[in-house]
Structure 1
């Protein structure tokens, strides 16, 4: 049975990062001949070459790319273990690393974190927001323990297990005295001339909004106001005739206070499931399992789980 020395995996990763044996050797504090020999031994054990060497450095081939993926996961696993031991030495549990998308950064996730901190005050939690594919990739390489995200999205989802918690939908949001505020439902196709405030390019929120417009067969608005601040989007909508598209979960407080009005959109597709995702075939850590159970409990107790 073939066994790979994990130290040689990390050597391949170092060369991949620095583009040469000399750069990797300097960065890792080993001699260049020792590093070259380590990778040569790895190639001999595997029976395949993992990189092409030339005058201008070393370049990974397909086998090398496959190994680097696992090397990154190994490096993250080691770093997480070291961090956990440092925290335990100080009497702190963790780290618990959670990946979220914009729709999950409000509502159940903060509530679950509040309950977790109430039960376990000495805990270290990291919350990372990103696009679906980004946080799925981070989950696979062990940078994250658990995701709270839309389900049925992303190219890596076949390699994770998932569990639905609630449904999410998008609404048109305006100020209460907006000309459209009396409508109970509206079609996105009716709103071509509307003044918009929408997320700017490069954000996870923008990507999700683009999918909403695309699903309704509408081009992304050329004009209007763009910002990556959800607080700014809310403030602008409350103060102008601009409208936005957002999940009611993100504006529930303002709606309850009478500062904003949500109007159902009739042409943005069915409700989208949101839930937990974790690596297939692996048990969650006790801390991650505790957080997952809190999310399940809150989802069950939510009086209106479909938003």
Structure 2
């Protein structure tokens, strides 16, 4: 026998509030309509739900059992309503974010951790790729937002790009490197040392070649290439190698006291780090909240990095 869930909710309200009038008021219904619903339910069940002639109402055994089911229905409805409310407010859901490995590991991962502390019911699905593949995945709908360095002038019209950090590269090394504490570094100083090269298909690899060409180094030794940020940092810590990294990555690693940026000025890329998403795609509340959080975090970070760059890097 299938019963109307509304009748079960009604029974729960009557039992919990102690009478027809009180139950009707709790459900936002009139007392006569509640009496009619109760009579219909008793007819369908073929048994009484409240003992005859008892005041106050005394529920029968079957009434108490059905009222318990009604409470579960009410609780489920309340829970479902809360889920919908949290979803609409961007406090639950899924965010699929992709980005370039160096920035994701060196800068974004910490922000994702802070975001999930604030919004634990939002799941983050994070992946690595470079700009061309990230745009393809955004177009196909398998990604919600990309965080990557791009030249704003080269972005196709079907995408929105929110710039969150200017492009700034530095030559990085171990904090115990012979050049790390020098107040000034010349080209002749860095020439003897080997280099760590980023993956050949990464924008940072192109930056490395451009930087070295701009300071006159066309013949340089690569001792290691293609690794993750963790492997690059580990090798830098245990060798005299140099590499080119975004200054924001070196800055974020400063607490580990692993890397140092050399005080030699190099050219910066035309790219800026930013968030990329399809212009006309519907935006889920969780994705909107994530974008707002990342943008706010970078507003504060950009100012701090700029001050640190001027006060610490170029004033040695």
TM-score by length of 2: 0.57
Q: 1:208 to 1:254 in 2, by over 3 A?
A: closer
| Offset at residue 101 of structure 1 (A) | 1.3
Structure 1: distance between partners of 2:195 and 2:118: 43
Deviates more, 1:281-290 or 1:256-265: 256-265
Match of 2:206 among 210, 215, 219: 210
Tell me if structure 1 keeps the 8 A contact 2:251–2:305: no
1:1-307 alignment runs, 5 A limit: 93-106=92-105, 109-152=108-151, 157-184=156-183, 186=185, 191-201=190-200, 204=202, 207-214=203-210, 216-217=212-213, 219=218, 221-252=220-251, 254-269=253-268, 272-302=271-301, 303-306=303-306
TM-score by length of 1: 0.59
Tell me if structure 2 keeps the 8 A contact 1:137–1:156: no
Q: Higher Cα Rg: structure 1 or 2?
A: 2
- Residue 98 of structure 1 aligns to a residue whose secondary structure is strand
| Offset at residue 109 of structure 1 (A) | 2.5
| Offset at residue 144 of structure 1 (A) | 0.7
| Offset at residue 97 of structure 1 (A) | 0.9
Q: 1:138 to 1:304 in 2, by over 3 A?
A: same
Q: 1:239 to 1:276 in 2, by over 3 A?
A: same
How many residues align? The count is 214
In the alignment, structure 2 segments of 5+ residues that lack a partner are 1-86, 310-316
| Offset at residue 263 of structure 1 (A) | 1.4
Structure 1: distance between partners of 2:305 and 2:204: 20
- Residue 304 of structure 1 aligns to a residue whose secondary structure is helix
Q: 1:152 to 1:235 in 2, by over 3 A?
A: same
Tell me if structure 2 keeps the 8 A contact 1:146–1:277: yes
> Deviation per CA, 1:130-187, whole angstroms, max 9, x where unpaired?
1111111111121111111113169653320111112232211122332322345657
Structure 2: distance between partners of 1:186 and 1:235: 23
Q: 1:301 to 1:185 in 2, by over 3 A?
A: same
Structure 2: distance between partners of 1:131 and 1:220: 27
Quote the RMSD (CA, aligned, Å).
3.1
